[in-house]
Chain A
Amino acid sequence: MQTLAVVLALLALAPFLWLLLMSFKTNAEIFRFPPRLLFDATLANYAALWTSEFRNSFANSLIVSVASTVLSLVIGVPAAYALSRWTGRGGGTITLWILASRMAPPIAFTIPYFLVYRHLELLDTLTGLIVIYLTFNLSLVIWMMRPFYDQLPRSLEEAAWIDGATLWQGFYRIILPLSGPGLAATAILCFLFAWNDFFFALILTRTEAMTAPVAVVNFMNYEGWEWGRIAAGGTMIMLPVLVFSFVVRRYLVHGLTGGALKG
């Protein structure tokens, strides 16, 4: 049983490992079959990448992802908390709205944003990307954090109130620190969703604000089939993702389904 599982895992990972190895190969090595297990690894692909425009795109990806994460948390966390305590009507409608805007096909936002950005001169700007990334990240924060606050007893803020704290102090000093792990996981997921975006950046950027995923695809289209560099670019895009995903693996399902599973 365990052997079967290991074999299946290797099989499932083979395509991914192949790309990783390819990024360290020379062109001659890439076209060799059967591949040599021990080849002379080279960093030339990474070096070539790092001296090209790709570096700017990588920086753009970082800036946009971090900015969109911070903004979403600042706006969304208080709302998640309040909605978790919400007893009025309309809660179901808000939930559906948030879920639908998370699930909507990106093109539904891309068309209006593209048309409006042409007039606001926000095409090919980092600001433009940060704003459109809010469409999925703000919803993510709200529906990711709400279940965390559902678990915190209401008596906490009542006790703080009786001790003379304002509601804001109660939230800021007591509730917020208690939801620390949830906040960290949510921040990482926000970063990942922004970092992974391809479609919005493909349509809304040209050169200045181009992000790393779009830049890699441009190698494919405009610089012939530079397989080594494409593989190196792909590897650089996925490395932060792999590290962060490992950190938040416990929260992945939660983040993708908004706590559709309850313990």
Chain B
Amino acid sequence: MISSPSAGFSRAQHRFFAFCVAPSLAVLALITLLPALYLLATSFTQLSLTRPETQWDFSQPLESYRQLLSDSRLHNSVWVQIKLSFWTVLLQLLIGLLLALLLNIRSRLLEALRTVFLIPMVLPPIVVAIIWKVIYTPDISPMHGIFRSLGWNVPALITDPNWALTSIIIADTWEWFPFTMLMVLAALQMMPQELLDAAKVDGASPWQLTRHITLPFIRGVLLVAGLFRLIDSIKAFPLIFILTDGGPGSLTEVTNYYSYLQAFNFSFLGFSSAITVALLAATIALSWLIVRLVGWGAKID
């Protein structure tokens, strides 16, 4: 039996904890908080690398933000972003959920298959982009080969205005459906077995079990998974960079990509910073929602 620790212990512990946390907080402040403030400051300038005198020129602090409201290409990018986010999140939740339900049966084979299904998610994003570049390039694509042997004349999807965004959505869904699958599987394993057994005794069909017991149980997990994917979809970059370069026209140009073009192709870093500040605000708001949903904050405060 351990006696309750002395006051000396808790004082020493307090000092020790502060000593442990301080370096991390200092480094985090230096490498994340300071740059975020720098970004905010830059967004109040008209910084363009071709005109160095614009670097710290705050004479028209809100000019970049005024431009946000009037730039139609930006508005188009927001619309593209909404379409991309909506479809990828929806499809990933749906496919991930169905696969998880399918794989949640005790069997050696299915457990091995779970690992196989993870591969798209763990591949480096640039490799995923290369894989889909191959599939979408008619000369070498097995998909187009099959289309040709069926006598179908299918255009190159990534350069076709009607298909470009869809082809990105397909690739992104392929990359990330395992994430939902994993989360749902993890949740399913925590499901109280007694609940299912009781329902089975009462004569519930597999469909009724899924509909009335399983789905309500994993609703929260689906929501959190959806939020994580939603935040990530705002960062979509490698697929668009490799597959379509935002084109044709600006049909696949999401906001993040447009901000990249403004900063590093047109070197309007001031304007790009303003766009990025808006993106960052959206990310922080969604993260806050996750923290609330998961209850991390409540646990600590």
Instruction: Give the residues in chain B near A82, CB-CB below 8 Å.
Output: 16-18, 20-21
Q: Which of B97-105, B160-168, B194-202 contacts A (4 or more CB under 8 A)?
A: B97-105
Minimum CB distance partner of B269 in chain A: A111
Would A95 and B131 count as touching, CB distance under 8 A?
Answer: no
| Count of A interface residues, CB-CB < 8 Å | 102
Instruction: List the B side residues contacting A8 at CB < 8 Å.
Output: 99, 102
Interface 1/0s, chain B 288-301, versus A by CB < 8 A? Answer: 10110010111111
Whether, in the assembled complex, B179 has its beta carbon less than 8 Å from a beta carbon of chain A, the answer is yes
Please indicate which of the listed interface residues A35, A81, A103 has the most CB atoms of chain B within 10 Å of its own CB. Answer: A103
Q: A30-B140, A99-B290 are in contact. Are A83 and B272 (CB under 8 A)?
A: no
Report yes or no: B113 in contact with A9, Cβ–Cβ below 8 A.
Answer: yes
Judge whether A198 and B182 touch: CB under 8 Å: no
A119-133, CB under 8 A of B: which get 1 and which 0? 000000000000110
Which 6 A/B pairs are nearest by Cβ-Cβ distance? A91-B300, A92-B297, A79-B24, A33-B145, A78-B20, A82-B20
> Is A256 touching B124 in the complex (CB atoms < 8 A)?
no
Interface: A252 (CB within 8 A): yes
| A108 with B183: CB separation less than 8 A | no
Q: Quick one: closest B residue to A91, CB to CB? A: B300
Beyond A95-B297, A100-B284, is A241–B124 a contact (Cβ under 8 Å)? yes
Q: Which residues of A contact B36 (CB under 8 A)?
A: 104, 108, 112
Q: With the chains together, A13 CA to B120 CA distance in Å?
A: 8
Query: How far is the CB of B131 from the nearest CB of chain A, in Å?
Result: 5
B71 within 8 A of A: no
Docked CA distance A107–B260 (Å): 7
| Contact of B155 with A by CB under 8 A | no
B109, A2: Cβ atoms closer than 8 Å: yes
Listed in ascending order, the chain B residues whose CB lies under 8 Å from chain A are: 2-3, 5, 9, 12-13, 16-21, 23-25, 27-28, 31-36, 38-39, 42, 99, 102-103, 105, 107, 109-110, 113, 115-127, 130-135, 137, 139-140, 142, 145, 148-149, 174, 179, 182-183, 186-187, 190, 221, 224, 228, 231-232, 234-235, 237-238, 241-242, 256, 259-260, 263-264, 269, 272-273, 276-277, 279-280, 283-284, 286-288, 290-291, 294, 296-301
In the complex, chain A residues whose CB is within 8 Å of the CB of B238 = 198-199
Cβ B102 vs Cβ A5 within 8 A: yes
14 interchain pairs (CB within 8 A)? Answer: A5-B103, A8-B102, A9-B117, A15-B135, A79-B24, A86-B21, A95-B291, A97-B32, A108-B277, A112-B42, A155-B2, A167-B13, A203-B264, A252-B182
CB-CB under 8 A from B174, the residues of chain A are: 12, 15
Chain B minimum-CB-distance residue to A8: B99
The answer to whether A185 has its CB under 8 Å from any CB of chain B is: no
Stretch of A43-51, A52-60, A230-238 that contacts chain B: A230-238
Quote the shortest CB–CB distance from B89 to chain A (angstroms).
15
Residue of A nearest to B260 (CB): A107
Cβ of A135 within 8 Å of any chain B Cβ, yes or no, is yes
A13-B116, A107-B263 given; A253·B183 CB < 8 A: yes
Rounded to whole Å, the gap between the CB of B213 and the closest CB of chain A is 18
Residues of A within 8 A of B297 (CB): 91-92, 95-96
Which residues A17-33 have CB closer than 8 A to chain B?
Answer: 18-19, 22, 30-31, 33
**Which B residues are CB-close (under 8 A) to A2?**
107, 109-110
8 Å CB contact of A213 from B27, B124, B133, B280: B124
Q: Can you list, as one digit per residue, whether each of A211-233 has a CB less than 8 Å from chain B (1) or not (0)?
A: 00100110010000101001100
Considering only CB atoms, which chain A residue lies closest to B26 in the complex? A75
Contact between A231 and B134, CB atoms less than 8 A apart: yes
